[in-house]
A = this chain, B = another copy of it.
Amino acid sequence: MAEQPTILKPEEIESESFRIIDSEIGPHQFDEQQWPIVRRVIHTTADFELAEQMRFSWNVVEQAVSALQGGAKILCDTNMVLSGVNKSRLVKLGGSIACHVADPQVADEAKAAGLTRSTFALRKGVEEGCNIFLIGNAPTALFELLRLAEKGDVDPALVVGVPVGFVGAAESKGALIAADLPYIAIEGRKGGSAIAAAILNALMIQAEG
């Protein structure tokens, strides 16, 4: 059996990972607020290609940090995102987070309409007054959010738009980037729940100062 590497303490594993990412990334255009977020996404996926596909609306990190410091009400589209978010950090910042995709009422409405549960789960989050949206899986949730924002039913402080997949994901993120909302997004097909959670966790670290 191969020897286990000698770096084993949890805090050393993370700092050594960041050192490796910094040494391999090469020249990039991210500013000092954006880079810790991109780096955490690479740390979560080991996929440097994502750095080329990450997009930030103007001043979004500052706006998101400010919203988090004010006690944000967050909606996410999957229970995997919910699991990945650091809840002790969020509670310290006075925030909360919910996911309604497994809600029985949401399931009934979706079945009746022949649409995704993600669409109705998003609608419920908007009705509850959520102001930060983490979309790691469902293009239909992101499209529904954009539709409600265009109608004026919601004015998000941040949209993390990173749904993954082959049907609608790239299109939904293109629509987000074209809309006039504060966003962090990954262009193209890639993304996922772990990435959505990683972006929020990186923002909370900045919000803690």
Residue A5 at the chain B interface, CB threshold 8 Å? yes
Residues in B neighbouring A167, C-beta threshold 8 A: 5, 7, 13, 16-17, 20
Interface residues of A: mostly helix, strand, loop or mixed? helix
| Contacting pair A165 B83 (CB below 8 A) | no
The number of chain A residues with a CB under 8 A from chain B is 54
- Cβ of A147 < 8 Å from any Cβ of B? yes
Q: Determine the chain B residues whose CB is within 8 A of the CB of A115 once the complex forms.
A: 8-9
A152 to B140, CA, bound (A): 49
The chain A residues found within 8 Å of chain B, CB to CB, are 1-2, 4-5, 7-10, 13, 16-17, 20-21, 43-47, 78-80, 82-84, 114-117, 139-140, 143, 146-147, 150, 164-169, 171-172, 174-175, 178-179, 188-194, 197
Q: Most chain-B Cβ atoms within 10 A of its Cβ — which of A82, A167, A179?
A: A167
Kindly state the separation between the CA atoms of A167 and B11 in the bound complex, as whole angstroms. 12
A44 to chain B: which residues have CB within 8 Å?
A: 164, 192
Q: In whole angstroms, what is the CA distance A53 to B20 when docked?
A: 21
Of the candidates B45, B114, B166, B175, which one forms a contact with A2 in the assembled complex, judged by CB atoms under 8 Å apart? B175
Please, which residues of chain B bring their CB within 8 A of the CB of A194? 80, 192-194
A82 neighbours in B (Cβ, 8 Å) = 83
The answer to whether A2 and B171 have CB atoms under 8 Å apart is yes
- Judging by beta carbons under 8 Å apart, are A169 and B46 in contact? yes
A4: chain B residues at CB < 8 Å are 139-140, 143, 168, 171-172
